[in-house]
Amino acid sequence: MFDKLMRALFPSRRHEAARVDPLIVKSLVRGIMTARPDEIGCGECFEELDCFVEMKLAGRDVTEAMPLVHDHLQRCGPCREEFEALLMALRSMA
């Protein structure tokens, strides 16, 4: 189904349509559905990420303590990828 959507979005590259990850389309729909006015951007998220990851490591409820950073990490793939890598590094070195 998502391939069909991609063919519609990118009509002259039908042979490449299958490369689109359906999860990205689903994520877009959810991102639209849940868009909120107070979302922070990647820059603000990065500023707070060291505190956020330490809270996470300390077992604190990050959704409560830093809800906007948590929200951004749910929405932004590159920021989430970096957060998970940082968490892995710090956990492994503890």
* Distance in angstroms (rounded) separating the CA atoms of residues 71 and 59: 18
Among residues 26 and 67, whose Cβ is nearest to other proteins?
A: 26
Interface residues with other proteins (CB under 8 A)?
1, 4-13, 19-21, 24-26, 28-35, 37, 39, 41-44, 46, 49-51, 53-54, 76-78, 81-82, 85-86, 88-90, 92-93
* Distance in angstroms (rounded) separating the CA atoms of residues 50 and 30: 27
Q: How far is the CB of 26 from other proteins (least distance, A)?
A: 6
Q: How far is the CB of 63 from other proteins (least distance, A)?
A: 16
Q: How far is the CB of 69 from other proteins (least distance, A)?
A: 12
* Distance in angstroms (rounded) separating the CA atoms of residues 73 and 58: 18
Among residues 20 and 62, whose Cβ is nearest to other proteins?
A: 20
- The answer to whether the CB of 60 falls within 8 A of the CB of 54 is no
Classify residue 68 by burial, with Cβ atoms within 10 Å: 0-12, 13-18, 19+: middle
